[in-house]
Structure 1
Amino acid sequence: MDKGYEKERFESVSIKSSVVRKFRRYCRNISKSQSMALLLMIEFFEDNGISPTESMGPKMQTLENLIKKRINGVIAILKDIEKSQTKPTVAMMETLFKEAEPKKKPLILEKKNVEKMTEVRFREKQNPSNEL
């Protein structure tokens, strides 16, 4: 029995015999009772707002084209953000950090200063007893 529909009574509907055979074959393929298969079909059409007489082809193509347009729109927005906001901001930050770098000050005892100092003021005292 169909869950939730056990206490309902059956009604009859007049359907052509060729349609009934096709419908019963379809119900066996989806493993549903005839009532549940018909209910699923009706709910599908109502939920999706389509009519059984409409073709799904153009609607799916239209939907696909709409999605592609929106994706292209999002890509264009991201590229614009990158050009107008991200790249200029990065450039400004780089220039700020380049200017903020400390200037290299020469060390006190650089080579050029050592050459000037040829005169030695203090010498180590040498003990004659330490000589070998």
Structure 2
Amino acid sequence: MHFKTHTEAMENILDFFLYNEISPKEKLGPTGRTIEAKLLKRINAVIAIMRDVEKTQTKPTVAMLQSLFVMEEPNKKPLIVEKKYAEEKKEVRFREIESMRFTNEERAKR
């Protein structure tokens, strides 16, 4: 917007101040730099809070949950099997009996 005279420009400036109810003598508020500095401080504070929460809550909780899911190898116990499915070891039994007989016969001869 271009004005033909300085008077016309000054009238428009004064109208602007009256219409928006502001005074050229008072401060309009924080500048962009101060707003940016305040935002950076708040962002840094939020980051510090998040790091603290991660250190004190998240990491220990994750460690506990992982320890719950760690699989340890169970002690190997022999399976309990019904007699009809159990393996028969007749040969060993007969050998033991024969060896017992032989020793008993030898004893009888002596």
Shorter-chain TM range is 0.3 to 0.5
TM-score, normalization by structure 1:
0.41
Q: Which has the higher contact order (CA 8 A, sep 6+)?
A: 1
Greater Rg, structure 1 or structure 2? 2
**TM-score, normalising length: structure 2:** 0.47
More helix by share: 2
